[in-house]
Amino acid sequence: MSRNEFFKALHRVVLITLAMMAGSYVLLAALMLFVGLNDVFLHFTLATVFTMILAPAGAFPLILMSDRLRVMKNDLEGLLRLDGLTELPNRRAFFELAEKTFPRGNRVTLMMVDIDHFKLVNDTYGHDTGDRVLRAVGQSIQRIVAEAIGGGVKFTARIGGEEFAVLVEGMTPAAADRLADDLVQRIHAAPVQGDDQMIPVTVSIGVAHGHAGDTPGLVLRAADGACYLAKRRGRNQWCDVDGQNARQGDATAIRRDGQVLPARTAA
């Protein structure tokens, strides 16, 4: 038990003891009024002494146990929203935040980030190395997103397999596109250390912007469709779906400022 825990518990024990003493006096006074008691001083003394002994003895361990159970509950709830491998927030945490962010009415952009040829990484280098790649890429995405200039909420989560989702609030479409471009280039430029060699890693990213009436699931599906097109175009690139298609869930027309984005050469 830490010193802070002790004094927090002690404070509540004192309050409980005083409350119990006051209650004892009130009860004793009522008994004296309606029943009558001999040796009033003795009864007041016993009411005080017993309360001061029994209340702390009973309350202190109960309060400590309650505090520790509350901490354990908070820890468990945190684990339910955490991906154990990458230590990033998980799919549940992502959608909980998105459901709170969308109704605020600010501009919200969602990105789907998928590691290119991840199955080949596992097959070639083994699953331990694949896990190392997942952790490294996840940490890189989280860092790059957090460092992005502008906007409000910036959130990264692993939502399954080799897929990561990004939520940024308050960014213009142009700023969000620059962030997607930054993610592609910086991850490409930072191979992951394997057992005896550096492993090149690239990602494909789909970008979709939320609008009034959109839901997180709908916008993320649009981002997923844009990510799929980025992969079809050769991977190691990003695509941005416009707002109209985001609402329809149609990722066949991938645009930025009305123009189809040029495909990059895959690494």
Q: Pairing relation of β-strands 203-209 and 238-241? A: parallel
Distance CA 111, CA 68 (A): 39
Which residue is catalytic, options 99, 162, 163, 169? 162
Verify whether residue 162 is a known catalytic residue. Answer: yes
Q: What stretches of the chain adopt beta strand conformation (E)?
A: 108-115, 154-160, 163-169, 192-193, 198-199, 203-209, 238-241, 255-256, 259-260
Show the tokens assigned to 24. 């004892």
Show the tokens assigned to 232. 């079809």
Beta carbons of 230 and 256 less than 8 angstroms apart: no
Distance CA 158, CA 153 (A): 17
Beta carbons of 110 and 208 less than 8 angstroms apart: yes
Q: What is the distance, to the nearest Å, from the Cα of residue 251 to the centroid of all Cα atoms in its chain?
A: 28
Distance CA 203, CA 117 (A): 9
Beta carbons of 113 and 184 less than 8 angstroms apart: no
Active site residue ranges: 162
